[in-house]
């Protein structure tokens, strides 16, 4: 009996132990959920790690590829640069070898290379005047012989000998020194840098005669003896300044019989000079259009006389029709001031003012033909009367050095003529031609 009890107890103990082991081997539902979560996190971490690793690998591979391509380009450019430089040197040597004989032959001196350029301009005119006292004739207005050239790299010179039916004279003789910074110095006998058309030779004017207002206030061509300092200001836009000092002023004209307010010849001592100041500019707002502006001041001390001038010019020059069409409009206004002193009583001196000017329009409608019109007006100093001139003109130019021009002037005078008329008709037929190279200095 005791043995049976012991066996029974042993069986109970073994059963309880087996049940405990079974219970301990099967986790609860909570523990199973936590294990599943941990496994999922581990899987996600592994996938994220593998993805980032692939992306990093791809990024580095792209960068390495770009660096390799860049290195290849640098090496190729370096090689090409060396090869290009070598090729340039070879071409340069070959070209120099080929042109060296030409250069050597071109720099040889010959006796005529220092000879000046020579030209002869013949200006003839048939003229008719309705008023008495003026000759109706066909005559030689002028024969202009011009010599110009370079003395050395710094100095150029020119001379003009003018002949008419009455006499021959030295019209101009001057030298121009080129200085640094755009400066230049002119000295001798020359046309003063006054206004727009005053400094232009009469045969080079756009019409037959010089505007009457210029003749009235300047006496004709402003020929001076002295010096002028010019400065082409070194800026993008054209700007030129001129200062002049003269001891002689000649109002020169090729015509006779016109009414002049200025004396034809004024001589000055060394203590009594004439002074000039001028500023001029120009600009091209569009390729086919050009504008020029200028202002001039001129003082004659011997007459206590001052003249102011303001000039303007517009040019339409279509590049597509350079030889067929052109339009020029120019004008100039002058103000004259003279102080007349009483010989005995200085305090009784009085001042007289007068003004005048001209405007013209010329249209080139074909390679050889152009048509123009000029208007001129000025006041007399003695009585303030005005003189008006209306001028149509027609120009035919077979070539650059050959020109015919027909012009008509209707002058409404400020005084009466011999036949008690206050108007006059004038008709001109001009024929001008040039032999040789005829060049005048650049004028603005």
Mean pLDDT of 51-78: 81
- What is the rounded average pLDDT of the residues 153-157? 92
CB 240 within 8 A of CB 231: yes
Q: How confident is the model at residue 127, as a pLDDT? A: 92
| pLDDT at position 260 over 60 | no
**How far is Cα 368 from Cα 403, in angstroms, rounded to an integer?**
9
In the prediction, which pLDDT does 331 show? 98
- For domain 111-436, give the fold: Porin (2.40.160)
3-state secondary structure of 86: helix
Q: What mean pLDDT comes out for the span 413-432?
A: 83
**pLDDT value for 257:** 43
Name the pLDDT band for 84 (thresholds 50, 70, 90). low
* pLDDT value for 261: 43
Among 17-31, 47-61, 254-268, which is the least confidently predicted range? 254-268
The answer to whether 322 touches 291, Cβ cutoff 8 Å, is no
The better pLDDT of the pair 263, 164 is held by 164
What is the C-alpha separation between 245 and 242, in angstroms, rounded? 10
User: For the ranges 17-31, 133-147, 201-215, which has the lowest average pLDDT?
Assistant: 17-31
Tell me how many degrees the CA angle 348-298-373 measures, rounded to the nearest 5: 110
pLDDT band at 398 (very low <50, low <70, confident <90, very high): very high
Evaluate the CA torsion angle 81, 86, 91, 97 in order and state its sign.
Answer: positive
Element (H, E) at 80: helix 29-106
Phi-psi region of 271 (alpha: psi -120 to 50; beta: other; left: phi over 0): alpha
Check residues 391 and 60 and name the one with the higher pLDDT. Answer: 391
In sign, the C-alpha dihedral spanning 110, 112, 113, 115 is positive
Q: Which residue has the higher pLDDT, 313 or 30?
A: 313
What pLDDT score does 77 carry? 72
pLDDT band at 303 (very low <50, low <70, confident <90, very high): low
The residue extents of the domains of the chain are 32-108, 111-436
pLDDT in tens, 100-134: 665 555 555 555 556 788 999 999 999 998 877 67
Q: What is the pLDDT at residue 248?
A: 65
Which whole number is the average pLDDT over 422-433? 93
The predicted pLDDT at position 414 comes to 74
The 10s digit of each residue's pLDDT in 183-197 is 999 999 999 999 999
Which pTM does this prediction carry?
A: 0.69
Interatomic CA distance for residues 215 and 306, integer angstroms: 15
Q: Considering the chain, what percentage of its residues have pLDDT values greater than 70?
A: 73
Q: pLDDT at position 134, please?
A: 75
Q: Which of 138-142, 217-221, 295-299, 403-407 shows the lowest per-residue confidence on average (mean pLDDT)? A: 217-221
What pLDDT does 441 receive?
A: 59
Cα-based torsion angle of the residue sequence 249, 254, 255, 257 in order, rounded to the nearest 10 degrees: 40
pLDDT confidence of 268, banded at 50, 70, 90? Answer: very low
* Average pLDDT for the chain: 82
Q: Please tell me the predicted confidence (pLDDT) of residue 23.
A: 45
> With 70 as the cut, is the pLDDT of residue 333 above it?
yes
């Amino acid at each position: 009996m005791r043995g049976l009890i012991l066996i029974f107890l042993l069986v109970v103990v073994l059963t309880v132990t087996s049940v405990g082991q079974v219970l301990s081997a099967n986790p609860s539902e909570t523990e199973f959920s936590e294990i599943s979560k941990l496994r999922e996190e581990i899987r996600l971490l592994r996938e994220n790690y593998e993805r980032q690793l692939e992306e990093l690998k791809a990024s580095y591979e792209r960068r390495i590829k770009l660096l390799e391509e860049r290195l290849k380009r640098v090496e190729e450019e370096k090689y090409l640069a060396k090869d290009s430089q070598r090729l340039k040197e070879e071409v340069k040597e070959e070209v120099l070898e080929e042109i060296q004989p030409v250069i050597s032959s071109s720099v040889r001196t010959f006796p005529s290379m220092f000879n000046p350029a020579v030209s002869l301009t013949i200006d003839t005119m048939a003229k008719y005047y309705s008023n008495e006292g003026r000759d109706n004739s066909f005559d030689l207005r002028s024969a202009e012989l011009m010599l110009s050239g370079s003395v050395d790299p710094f100095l150029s010179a020119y001379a003009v000998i003018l002949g008419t039916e009455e006499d021959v004279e030295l019209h101009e003789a001057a030298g121009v020194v080129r200085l640094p910074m755009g400066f230049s110095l002119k000295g001798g006998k020359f046309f003063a840098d006054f206004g727009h058309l005053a400094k232009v030779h009469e045969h080079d004017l756009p019409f037959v005669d010089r505007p009457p207002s210029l003749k009235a206030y300047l006496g004709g061509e402003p020929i001076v003896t002295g010096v002028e300092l010019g400065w082409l200001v070194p800026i993008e836009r054209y700007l030129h300044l001129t200062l002049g000092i003269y001891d002689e002023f000649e109002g020169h004209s090729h015509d006779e019989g016109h009414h002049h307010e200025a004396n034809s010849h004024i001589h000055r001592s060394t203590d009594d000079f004439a002074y000039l100041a001028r500023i001029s500019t120009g600009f091209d707002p569009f390729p086919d259009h050009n504008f020029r502006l200028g202002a001039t001041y001129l003082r004659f001390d011997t007459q206590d006389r001052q003249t102011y001038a303001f000039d303007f010019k517009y040019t339409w020059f279509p590049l597509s029709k350079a030889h067929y069409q052109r339009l020029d409009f120019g004008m100039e206004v002058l103000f004259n001031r003279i102080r007349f002193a009483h010989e005995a009583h200085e305090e009784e001196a009085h001042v007289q003012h007068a003004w005048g000017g001209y405007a013209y329009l010329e249209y080139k409608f074909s390679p050889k033909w152009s048509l123009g019109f000029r208007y001129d007006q000025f006041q007399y100093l003695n009585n303030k009367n005005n003189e008006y001139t209306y001028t149509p003109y027609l120009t035919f130019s077979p070539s650059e050095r050959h020109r015919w021009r027909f012009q008509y002037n209707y002058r409404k005078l400020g005084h009466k003529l011999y036949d008690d008329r206050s108007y006059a008709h004038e008709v001109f037929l001009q024929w001008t031609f040039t032999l040789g190279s005829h060049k005048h200095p650049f004028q603005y």
